[in-house]
Amino acid sequence: MTVSPVRTELHGHVLVVTIDRYRRRNAVDRATADGLDAAFNRVDDDPDIRCAVLTGADGVFSAGSDLTAGGDYVTERGGEYGLVRRHRTTPLIAAVEGLALGGGLELALACDMVVAARDARFGLPEVTIGLVPTCGALFRGPRALPHNVARELVLTGDPIPAQRAHELGLVNRLTEPGEALAGALALAERVCRNAPVAVRECLAATQRAIGPDDEGWAATDRAAATVRASDDAAEGVRAFLEKRPPVWTGR
């Protein structure tokens, strides 16, 4: 029997969704995307679930896309990773331990709130292998962080610590290492004490206030298409998989 890389556990009115591919640092492949899609379909479709928490197993949130999976992460209802293009009505909290890198940070940015352990790190290393973030970071990053900090993450590829992310507003609450899930559950349970209809409508109103994502996705698609056609993109991925420094040509 194949074991699913995504686990779910119901805590009262809160569904905890856990990515469990710790040998791959919880990177997302096809099976993981399908598992996340199924979990969040359940969140969307079950009115008894009033809040959800997304986390990763074994002290790592997610290292993003599994580059050996060939870019096959898109689902019908959720888009990439089963989540990042989903039109949600139920609050979602990220519980971050360890690394949230690349698509891992983009998963966190797709959530409504973030609880992180003090030793967690957030980063977008795509440029270091000749790629661009394609799952929302290019426009959700500048929404969640000061624009110059979002540019720093995107253009350097260097991660920032959870403390700095908290000071800048990306992280709602900091916990001690190993306590992010407990902190996220406490926040989710606080949300669940409120009237469900009011919570749903407040979430929808705040999402409308941010504005539609259409322009952000269009700009991301243009950047990704240009980069995918470059020699540097092929070299960057090849060097990453071969565990050697890339040799850039600027073409």
- How many C-alpha atoms does 22 have within 13 Å on its Cβ side? 10
pLDDT in the model for residue 90: 98
Is the domain defined by 6-176+200-207 classed in CATH 3.90.226.10? yes
> Are 41 and 90 in contact, with CB atoms under 8 Å apart?
no
pLDDT in the model for residue 72: 83
CA angle 30, 22, 142 (to 5 degrees): 70
What are the residue numbers of the active site?
Answer: 106, 126
Sign of the torsion angle spanned by Cα atoms 47, 208, 113, 161: positive
* Domain range list for the chain: 6-176+200-207
- Report the alpha-carbon distance of residue 117 to residue 98 in Å, rounded: 7
- Report the alpha-carbon distance of residue 129 to residue 237 in Å, rounded: 6
pLDDT in the model for residue 187: 98
Q: How does 179-215 read in b/e, with b if 16+ C-beta sit within 10 Å?
A: bbbebbbebbeebbeeebeebbeebeeeeeeeeebee
Q: Which residues, given as ranges, of the chain have pLDDT below 50?
A: none
